[in-house]
Amino acid sequence: MAEHDHKLIHAFGALADLGQEITNKNNFQETIRTSLHLISGALGIMRGAVARYSRFGHELNMIAVRGLGDDFPLSLSLTTEDERQFLSNGMSPIEISQAKVLPFFQIYDASFEKRRLELFIPLVVREEIVGAIFLGEKATNEPYTNYEKEIVCAMGHHIGVAIAQRNLMAEIERHAEENRKMFDKMRSTYHDTVKAFAAAIDCKDKYTEGHSVRVGRFSEIIASELGWSSEEVEGAAVAGYLHDVGKLTVERKIINAPYRINAKESAELNKHPAVGYEILLPIHHPFTEVPLAAKYHHERLDGRGYPDGLFDREIPFIAKVVNLADSFDAMTTDRPYKARRPAKEVVEDLQRNAGKQFAPELVTSFLGGMLKELTGEDRNKRFRRLLGREYMEADGIVDKLRFTLNEMAPTTPMTYVAAAAIGNRQVH
């Protein structure tokens, strides 16, 4: 076989290896380093480098260097637009000794000569320069032949595409980061808007000031005690904040009536869940169940709720969460016709109505969260902040919670032991 054929076979082998290297999802820098090895090994080239073009600094920054020494510049500027235009024209190898008319080759002439660099191949993809290959003398000391230049161009094309892909990925990552920031900003704006709405709803009712905000917080606590993801907990909070949005259309005198309202007024007030649903439905909430929470937060498990008298499984879970939070807040705040009830009584009420009005698993999660806070297992003072320290630390509340939770979970291991009240005996 003629030497020319040998060379061709050897070069094609390197070209095949290069294609494989580029398509492997290896470290980019390592891929380029290997690619430089493959070009050098294919044609027996003593030294060289591959650089990536930076559009921002108009520089060629070295990403793989072989045998150019420590004093070779790692960043080379393409100062004029003419040069950049010229190099973007196509991927033809430029013989450095013939190109000294261009300022770029004049500026770096000493460095190129010192390391005997002979060829400069601009890497052009979609008419844009993405990098360049610098090649030194061949080990044979012979000049590059035309066919060798073509091989270098073919291999350079692969490297150029790899660099362009990397640039594209970097661009995508940058856009993704920008989008993430924008999303965070929009989310924050959304939450601010939701809170503003909650404040607007609460403003209408002077006796239940802060009710929507507290229902949002209690819903958040329940969701978090149920082990929901942070997004779901956020959704539960929003559902709580907006559950009474329908009250915006109810007459102020009905909402603020300092007495038990009559049947007619009650019917008017009871429209607020359906109205709230209508208000919230056209809004594209990140949490799709928000309108359902507004519509069904007055439904009960036993079917005696409103507006539709749904039974247990017919009621959306988020509405059960908000229902518990809503009722808990109603029991623990002063109303014009009713003073807030002591914490122990509220716990009894929740237990008594579990399975009738409230979902039992929600009641146990909620009371469990309260117990964890009072025993110091949970250091977040979520309940204390909402209900006041004095109210939460009333005598006997911890024991009451332990008894209640044991009674509500008779088949589970005896976790809640009223040690203070009954020694170390388990409670049945």
Partner 1 sequence: MVFAGEYINKLSGEQIEYECKRRLEAGCKELTVNFSQTEIINSIGISILLGVIDTASDKGASIVFSDVNKDTVELFNMLGVSKHVTLA
Q: Site residues (CB under 8 A) for partner 1? A: 3, 6-7, 10, 13-14, 17, 34, 36-47, 66-67, 138-142
Q: Closer to partner 1 at the Cβ: 156 or 316? A: 156
Task: Provide, rounded to whole angstroms, the least separation between the CB of residue 74 and partner 1.
Answer: 18
SS (H, E, C) 134-181: EEECECCCCCCCHHHHHHHHHHHHHHHHHHHHHHHHHHHHHHHHHHHH
Task: Provide, rounded to whole angstroms, the least separation between the CB of residue 39 and partner 1.
Answer: 8
Full DSSP string of 9-47: HHHHHHHHHHHHHHHS---HHHHHHHHHHHHHHHHTBS-
Q: Closer to partner 1 at the Cβ: 20 or 412? A: 20
Q: Closer to partner 1 at the Cβ: 138 or 211? A: 138
**What whole-number distance in Å separates Cα of residue 243 and Cα of residue 215?**
8
At 42, list the tokens.
């294919």
Beta partners for residue 65, in sequence order: 49
Q: Closer to partner 1 at the Cβ: 45 or 346? A: 45
CB 49 within 8 A of CB 68: yes
133 by DSSP, 3-state: which? strand
At 105, list the tokens.
């080759």
Full DSSP string of 61-78: EEEEEES--TTS-SEEE-
Q: Closer to partner 1 at the Cβ: 3 or 127? A: 3
Task: Provide, rounded to whole angstroms, the least separation between the CB of residue 124 and partner 1.
Answer: 24
Q: Closer to partner 1 at the Cβ: 134 or 218? A: 134
Task: Provide, rounded to whole angstroms, the least separation between the CB of residue 46 and partner 1.
Answer: 6
CB 294 within 8 A of CB 303: no
Place of tokens 């095949």: 16
Task: Provide, rounded to whole angstroms, the least separation between the CB of residue 129 and partner 1.
Answer: 25
Task: Provide, rounded to whole angstroms, the least separation between the CB of residue 8 and partner 1.
Answer: 11
